[in-house]
Amino acid sequence: MDWVIFGILAFLCVGSVAAMIFSRNPAHNALLLVLCFASLGGVFGLLDAPFAAVVQVIVYSGAIMVLFLFAVMTINLKKGQARERKRKIYAASMILAAVLLVELAIVARKAFWPAAESVPAGAPAEPVGIGHLLFTRYLYPFEITSILLIAALVGALVMAGKKESA
């Protein structure tokens, strides 16, 4: 039964991402991304990681997507982009696609030829243990991530607020 649910969730996730790639409407893309995040939360639930599943659904499907929709709605979507800017975006997307393809190859290699290492026996699986590690051992990476998220939000607001003089 778990394989059937996994198959449905995987189909939803991959299908929503594929539809997002071919869709031209940014609002539809944001909603398709919500569907992808929600199905990933279900996959985490199948992996017996309820904390990761709840965080995936609440944080990504909820809070982050509200920010995405806010940014999509504040950008003027009627104007076309200049040809030179489209070329730059295309080149950057090709570089990003190559990087993601390399990452996919690394993950696939690790999946089919796993290393001898496994999860340590004392690794925390409960939210209390994760929170303790997050605010002691991994405090600096956690704070740096929060600063980067705030900087991205401020940058999105600044870009959305720019007025072109023509």
User: 93-147, pLDDT tens digit by residue?
Assistant: 788 778 777 777 777 777 677 665 555 566 666 778 878 887 888 888 878 888 8
Tokens linked to 151: 């900087």
CA gap 20, 34 in Å, rounded? 11
Class of domain 1-78: mainly alpha
Tokens linked to 140: 């600096």
Q: Which residue has the tokens 């800017």?
A: 85
Tokens linked to 133: 């590690």
> Which among 2, 4, 62 is positioned nearest to 33, based on CA atoms?
62
User: 31-44, pLDDT tens digit by residue?
Assistant: 888 888 888 888 88
Length of the chain: 166
CB 56 within 8 A of CB 40: yes
Rounded to two decimals, the pTM is 0.52
Which of the residue ranges 71-80, 83-92, 93-102 would you say has the lowest mean pLDDT?
A: 71-80
- Residue ranges of domains in the chain: 1-78, 80-118, 124-166
